[in-house]
Amino acid sequence: MKAVIIKEYGDPEVLQLEDRPVPNHRPDEVLIRVKAAGVNRPDVIQRMGKYPAPPGAPSDIPGLEVAGIVEEVGDQISRWKPGDKICALVAGGGYAEYVSVSGEQCLPIPDTLNFTGAAGLPETVYTVWHNVFQRGHLQPGQKLLVHGGSSGIGITAIQLAKISGAQVVVTVGTDEKGAACLQLGADAFINYRTQDFESLLAERGVDVILDMVGGDYFGKNINILNDDGRLVYINAMKGPRVDLNILQMMRKRLTITGSTLRNRETSFKAGLTREIEEKVWPHLIRGLFKPVIYKIFPLKDAADAHRLMESSKHIGKIILSV
């Protein structure tokens, strides 16, 4: 099969298309003939040598989400059969013509979606559902602040939070990105290049914050959280080390949490998959929630896809067509 390989750690050009053996699959796994794969920020970090694959996952083939057709199934698989159209969350190896994954981490592709759209769902939906709703406990009527509102994570968080009955404010780098977020349902946007989100949100505050920035955003986040607020981290692009006023946290009864998904055990991902199919997939089928695809690259141009990701010019998902 053809696969995109990280030849060495470094800039996007280290991504090269090579021939690799089709992966074997265990009795509890399916082999997927990949039609499209999502590009995510962790792929870029892995390419730089700062986010190694967990044990058992391909160490030099990036890619955390795919959509395609079931090619083969293991002896323990009862739900899926060859020919089924599915999307899946994988721990690595998605930038390839084939990938194997636990059958419990797969979801059916609705008839309303093509492979390209479906490939942009697993990583963002799993991340948002776990962090905003399971860890952040967002409730109807509460206010969610999403840093990076026009990212793949952001556009997913906006839509699912609005469906749940919450209010949503996002921070973005341009007014164009802000306008796109408003079209997806956000109630307001803050351009962090020209506005200070702390001063704008200080009076009424927010209940839940989804942050992928870290660094000096931390203190501002703490200041604008309402009593019993929840601050949830999924990345720390501006740095992981911060200063915490413990007494302020105690007075406001704040919850500060965060997670990474890639290294979680299969049983956890299986449970998350079941909950997402039950609580998110119906909205997808009814058209209340949709993937937003910014640009599609052929597999061989994965380096260009990474350059676009690093430029942060995109609004929504970047996809590789396999």
Over residues 133-157, the mean pLDDT reads: 98
On average, the pLDDT of the chain sits at: 97
In the prediction, which pLDDT does 272 show?
A: 98
Q: pLDDT of 10-26, one tens digit each?
A: 999 999 999 999 999 99
Do both 146 and 252 map to the same domain?
A: yes
CA distance 48 to 14: 9
Over residues 181-188, the mean pLDDT reads: 98
Over residues 125-154, the mean pLDDT reads: 98
In the prediction, which pLDDT does 147 show?
A: 98
In the prediction, which pLDDT does 195 show?
A: 98
Select from 207, 228, 258 the last residue of a domain.
258
In the prediction, which pLDDT does 231 show?
A: 98
Residue 15's domain comprises 2-121+262-321
Q: How many domains does the chain have?
A: 2
Q: pLDDT of 249-298, one tens digit each?
A: 999 999 999 999 999 999 999 999 999 999 999 999 999 999 999 999 99
In the prediction, which pLDDT does 160 show?
A: 98
Do both 169 and 83 map to the same domain?
A: no
Do both 216 and 175 map to the same domain?
A: yes
Do both 146 and 248 map to the same domain?
A: yes
Do both 143 and 238 map to the same domain?
A: yes
CATH, residue 300? 3.90.180.10
Do both 135 and 244 map to the same domain?
A: yes
Closest C-alpha among 115, 116, 117, 126 to residue 90: 126
In the prediction, which pLDDT does 255 show?
A: 98
CA distance 20 to 71: 17
Diameter of the chain measured on Cα atoms? 58
Do both 130 and 254 map to the same domain?
A: yes
* pTM attached to this predicted model: 0.96
| Segments in 69-196 forming alpha helices (H) | 115-119, 122-128, 152-163, 175-183
Do both 302 and 153 map to the same domain?
A: no
Select from 233, 258, 283 the last residue of a domain.
258
In the prediction, which pLDDT does 164 show?
A: 98
Do both 115 and 30 map to the same domain?
A: yes
Between the alpha carbon of residue 308 and those of residues 29, 39, 295, 298, the distances in Å are 33, 10, 9, 14
Give the pLDDT band (50/70/90) at residue 159: very high
Select from 243, 258, 273 the last residue of a domain.
258
Q: pLDDT of 208-262, one tens digit each?
A: 999 999 999 999 999 999 999 999 999 999 999 999 999 999 999 999 999 999 9
CATH, residue 192? 3.40.50.720
